[in-house]
Chains A and B, each alone.
Chain A
Amino acid sequence: MGEKRATRHGFYDGLVALARDHEDVYAVDADLGSATGSSIFQKAFPERYIDVGIAEQNLVGISAGLARVGIVPFCSSMAVFVVGRGFEIIRNAVAYSRINVKIIGSHTGITAASDGGSHQAIADLAAMRALPNMVVLSPCDYNQAKKMASVMYSHEGPVYLRTSREPVENVTSEEDEITLGRAQKLRSGKDVCIIATGMMTVLAVRASQILESEGIDATIINIHTIKPLDTESIREEVIACNGRVVVCEEANMFGGLSEAVASSLVEENDIVFAQVAIEDRFGQSGATATILEEYGVTPEGIAQKARRVVHH
């Protein structure tokens, strides 16, 4: 597993590698390059880095204009700001217009802990999932985030990528292939299917180790593509675990991965469903570990939900 690294850095390491072979790759930021990770790109390709200042509507609008003259812009800010303040521009100038703009929202979930609730994005998944033409990606670790750059480049059209500030250990390897729109099985079990995205996948893997010591054999499914969702694999894997499913996401409980998975299972019989998510409240400041504990977003929190569905 090795050292802990953040997805926000993995993505830009991947983008730098991609940009060496593709002159049309640009990065655009709104004066948060050292936070989002885009300063990594700035250092490598200063002539292809555009800083629009603290102006997220303009960040998205300018990126749409760049795309309209043949550039492939990867524009970034903290998710709260690019998705929140930029939303209507994303909606009309990017998604409705079917324009090839890639949006990176960093500091998602509650693990941008010390910055407090104003900076913690918990509604970005719901907002981006709600837009037609938008692909929504959420890599689980550094290795996977690094691969996202070329996945996004190969897909012609709007993409939203969610990254995280918190360094975590790798649970995928550099050799793992990823395919847009496909779920990724990290562990095969039979008692409960734990479906997770982003950093929660790493916590889910830790939870499966706790559960294993108690004799509960969990399947772990990592969802790096939240939209389009691989509903077929999800159904198969959940049914193979007797309909026992726990969905984990570092986002508000409404409109994110949990509800997407739940809708994909409504026609199945005997589903026992649990959700590990933020329970409809905003974040706050604190040490990361304290915040995760407070919101129940921990390996033990996942294990508890898993026990409950298994013994239902």
Chain B
Amino acid sequence: MERVGALQEKARQIRIDTLDMILSSGSGHIGGSYSANDILVALYYDVMKISKDPADPDRDRFVLSKGHANPALYAILMDVGYVPKTAKNTLRQFGSPFQGHPDSAVCPGIDCTTGSLGQGITVGVGMALGLKKQHRSQRVFVVTGDGELNEGVCWEAFMAASNFELDNLTIIIDRNMIQLGNNTEKLMKLGDLRGKMESFGFMVDEIDGHDFNALLPALEKKTVGKPHCIIARTVKGKGVSYMENNVAWHGGVPKGDQIAQAYAELGGTYNG
């Protein structure tokens, strides 16, 4: 339980850092950062084999295919020491390692440039295939949005993942049910997502994506001969009541009283 408690505290801090960064930049995607927040925390602070050196070829690989959720990832990369904390106030600014969407060429610890939806999945499949071909043991974790699955290339990549028996690959679907313009089931319904992923050859687990007691065993699970998919049921904007499940908070920035309320609900203080 100590393990879970520590992760919950880390998750709270990363949410506050994310809010700090989005407020300082005046733009960024807070809703999707908060829905994916706990998945990222479980991976970086517990499940993944990371290294002090972001360039270490022997560490596990992480792809944030829903690249717009990068403020949470950037907050983690600073916290684990891959990027100096002085970068915190540079989100989306000129010359920053924290580009509007993750850019591996300028940000240490980013394993794949993303932002164009669907691409992180196909590149992640290539990484897992390449590691297997070279008989290397590192795992590849890819976090994708649910709306992102509208892109056809995701399904090309899923087909390939099972064809090549990529049991070193875990696809985590941040199933927050909301994409930019509407509820996913109203805009372009995914329907029986579990059935779809199973029929594409994945071992599928469906869990509460904010519960570390569920996240840890699911992320640690190793499949044999097939890729693993975790459908993580999440809440867009999780942690701040007025953002939760609200389509308006895909890309919104808190203003006025909303700022103090957000910090209060997250248990932090506003330093702005």
Partner of A97, one of B104, B118, B124, B134: B104
Find chain A residues with CB under 8 A from B116 CB: 88-89, 92-93
Overall SS of chain B's interface: helix
Judge if B111 is at the interface, Cβ distance under 8 Å. yes
Judge if B125 is at the interface, Cβ distance under 8 Å. yes
Judge if A50 is at the interface, Cβ distance under 8 Å. yes
How big is chain A's contact interface, by range? Answer: 20 to 34
Overall SS of chain A's interface: helix
B164 and chain A: residue at smallest CB distance: A50
Judge if A70 is at the interface, Cβ distance under 8 Å. yes
Complex: A97 Cα to B159 Cα, angstroms: 24
Find chain B residues with CB under 8 A from A60 CB: 122
Complex: A89 Cα to B112 Cα, angstroms: 13
Within 8 A of B (CB), among A69-127: 69-71, 88-89, 92-93, 96-98
Asked if residues B153 and A62 are in contact (CB atoms below 8 Å), the reply is: no
Find chain A residues with CB under 8 A from B111 CB: 68
Within 8 A of B (CB), among A219-268: none
A101 and chain B: residue at smallest CB distance: B126
- Considering only CB atoms and an 8 Å cut-off, how many residues of chain B contact the other chain? 33
Asked if residues B156 and A64 are in contact (CB atoms below 8 Å), the reply is: no
What per-residue 1/0 map shows which CB atoms of A44-79 lie under 8 Å from chain B? Answer: 000110101101011011111111111100000000
Complex: A96 Cα to B106 Cα, angstroms: 12
- Write the nearest CB–CB distance from B139 to chain A, whole angstroms: 12
What per-residue 1/0 map shows which CB atoms of B109-152 lie under 8 Å from chain A? Answer: 00111011011011111111111011010000000000000001
A66 and chain B: residue at smallest CB distance: B130
Asked if residues A62 and B113 are in contact (CB atoms below 8 Å), the reply is: no
Find chain A residues with CB under 8 A from B115 CB: 92
Partner of A62, one of B112, B118, B126, B131: B126
Complex: A55 Cα to B159 Cα, angstroms: 10
Partner of B125, one of A47, A53, A65, A88: A65
Asked if residues A68 and B123 are in contact (CB atoms below 8 Å), the reply is: yes
Asked if residues A57 and B122 are in contact (CB atoms below 8 Å), the reply is: yes
Complex: A71 Cα to B57 Cα, angstroms: 13
Complex: A258 Cα to B140 Cα, angstroms: 45
Judge if B157 is at the interface, Cβ distance under 8 Å. yes
Judge if B105 is at the interface, Cβ distance under 8 Å. yes
Asked if residues B159 and A53 are in contact (CB atoms below 8 Å), the reply is: yes
Judge if B247 is at the interface, Cβ distance under 8 Å. no
Partner of A65, one of B57, B118, B127, B136: B127
Asked if residues A97 and B113 are in contact (CB atoms below 8 Å), the reply is: yes
| A-B CB contact pairs (8 Å), 26 listed | A57-B152, A57-B156, A58-B153, A61-B119, A61-B123, A62-B125, A62-B157, A63-B126, A64-B122, A65-B122, A65-B124, A67-B126, A67-B130, A68-B61, A68-B111, A69-B127, A69-B136, A70-B57, A71-B130, A71-B134, A89-B116, A89-B122, A92-B115, A93-B113, A96-B103, A98-B105
Closest 4 CB pairs of A and B: A65-B126, A61-B122, A62-B126, A58-B156
